[in-house]
Amino acid sequence: MSLTIYNTLAREKQPFKPIDPKNVRMYVCGPTVYDFAHIGNARPVIVFDVLFRLLRHIYGEKHVTYVRNITDVEDKIIARAAERKVSIRELTEGTAKVYQEDALALGNLPPTLEPRVTDTMPEIIAMIATLVKNNRAYVAEGHVLFDVASDTDYGKLSRRALDDMIAGARVEVAPYKKNPMDFVLWKPSDATMPGWDSPWGNGRPGWHIECSAMGEKHLGETFDIHGGGIDLIFPHHENEIAQSEGAHHGRPIANYWMHNGFLQVEGEKMSKSLGNFITIRELLAEKKFGAEQWHGRVLRLAMLGTHYRQPIDWTLDRLTQARTTLMEWARLLHDVQPADDPSGDVLAALSDDLNTPSVFAALHGLAAAARTNADDRRRLRRTLAFLGLYGGEKDVDFLVGQTIDAAAVEDLIARRNAARKTKNFAEADRLRAELTAMGVAIEDGAAGTTWKVMS
């Protein structure tokens, strides 16, 4: 099977050629665990889980290594721990645990490795020392900074003008910097901050060096794929490239760079000031978005409906439709044994740069055939399981914590009957789907339309 992926560094789709087909290696930037992850953070988790599954299918489960890190020391963590009057350890252990639980609830496989910054300090210090030795970094007032002017290729990933890079990086103005763009590799810690002994005094690492060191430790100097959200292209991934190439005499950190697009909520950028900031945990466990809780697989299906490189609008309609679809599939598949292999059409679509819109076109076609064909039902079940979208749930399992409003049901039935009388069957079908999404089954008979809660 031929796999092509869009390489951000090259700005084009390219055939994927692993360094070693028996050891395909991928690194994806994980969370900084100062708070619960928001729904935008879920997108790279889901996207690169699908890629992980595809790589395992192509090369074999034992021949793919997926590293997704946890950043457990950073200035935001220090500030949040002080704000909550808890230890940094207590804060990061709690939020990391919730993140891992949320990732599993969304139907993701655990990554092969999930390293933490605090477990990688010797490698971080060693890489910084190498950069200083290679004249790619310098020491100033207890800080170690990367010397951007020493890297003639700096900016090749983001392809930004220098002025744009300075604005985008929100650079810290400091008198000890040679250049405003120089970024921190190591900084001093006072008695109130976490710190580690180093050749430059007690301190802690800058954000960017952490991923370079964790990637090298677990995947080698050069690995196959580096992924993350589009917001990480600059400065984080740009700086990772500069550090790693500076430490390794120009050898690349990764051959392919992949980035997922932004997420907005109901047409607006997600922000706490707009009141539309939503965490994964709130969607799974609280009635915050649409006054409902949502099953993790519903969130996963809704997320995958848009191609990973495109922006996605997170709406109530999107989630409701995803739930309706999963419930319809679940009614087809309950007690069905899976086939041996996923759908070839789905695998072909995924192999074209994770073309999930084409994947779902193939899934809907397979579901239509599955209504009358047992082999197609078995193939559908295997394919949905392969995608992390189905694990044997009944249709009602997708109605998490939902209660039925009888008056609302009667109103929808009345509107549906009125639509049928005027032969507006598209609207009647839409209203029936809405009832299904509420967990209501209806039946038309001589005495009219009756309904019941699905069981």
At 11-47, the pLDDT tens digits run: 999 999 999 999 999 999 999 999 999 999 999 999 9
Predicted local distance difference test score (pLDDT) of residue 440: 85
What does the angle CA 80 – CA 86 – CA 89 come to, to the nearest 5 degrees? 85
Return d(Cα 429, Cα 416) in angstroms, integer: 8
Can you tell me the mean pLDDT for 185-203?
A: 95
Residue in this structure with the two tokens 């914590």, named with its chain if needed: 401
Q: According to the CATH classification, is domain 289-308+315-398 in 1.20.120?
A: yes
Backbone angles phi, psi at 184, to 5 degrees: -80, 130
List Cβ neighbours of 237 (8 Å cut-off, separation of 6 or more). Answer: 29, 157, 226, 228, 257
Looking at residue 63, its amino acid is H
List Cβ neighbours of 137 (8 Å cut-off, separation of 6 or more). Answer: 128, 131, 144, 145, 146, 147, 185, 246
pLDDT surpassing 70 at residue 94: yes
* Burial class for 49, CB neighbours closer than 10 Å (0-12, 13-18, 19+): buried
pLDDT grade for 160, boundaries at 50, 70 and 90: confident
pLDDT surpassing 80 at residue 327: yes
Cβ atoms within 10 Å, residue 448: 9
How would CATH label the architecture of 4-260?
3-Layer(aba) Sandwich (3.40)
Note the pLDDT tens digit of each residue in 241-300.
999 999 999 999 999 999 999 999 999 988 877 878 899 999 999 888 887 899 999 999
pLDDT surpassing 90 at residue 345: yes
Task: Report which of residues 410 and 171 the model is more confident about.
Answer: 410
Return d(Cα 302, Cα 197) in angstroms, integer: 46
Note the pLDDT tens digit of each residue in 300-325.
999 999 999 999 999 999 999 999 89
Q: Which two tokens stand for residue 399?
A: 């109605």
pLDDT surpassing 70 at residue 171: no
List Cα–Cα distances, 404 to 267, 329, 395, 439, in angstroms: 28, 22, 15, 8
* Burial class for 374, CB neighbours closer than 10 Å (0-12, 13-18, 19+): exposed
Most confident of 116-120, 178-182, 284-288, 399-403: 116-120
> DSSP secondary-structure letter at 63?
G
Return d(Cα 205, Cα 190) in angstroms, integer: 14
Share of the chain above pLDDT 70, in %: 96
Q: What is the mean pLDDT of the chain?
A: 93
pLDDT surpassing 70 at residue 141: yes
pLDDT grade for 166, boundaries at 50, 70 and 90: low
pLDDT surpassing 80 at residue 118: yes
pLDDT surpassing 90 at residue 200: yes
Return d(Cα 143, Cα 122) in angstroms, integer: 17
Task: Report which of residues 440 and 196 the model is more confident about.
Answer: 196
pLDDT surpassing 80 at residue 452: no
Q: Which two tokens stand for residue 390?
A: 């189905």
What is the Cα Rg of the chain in Å?
Answer: 25
pLDDT grade for 449, boundaries at 50, 70 and 90: confident
pLDDT surpassing 60 at residue 91: yes
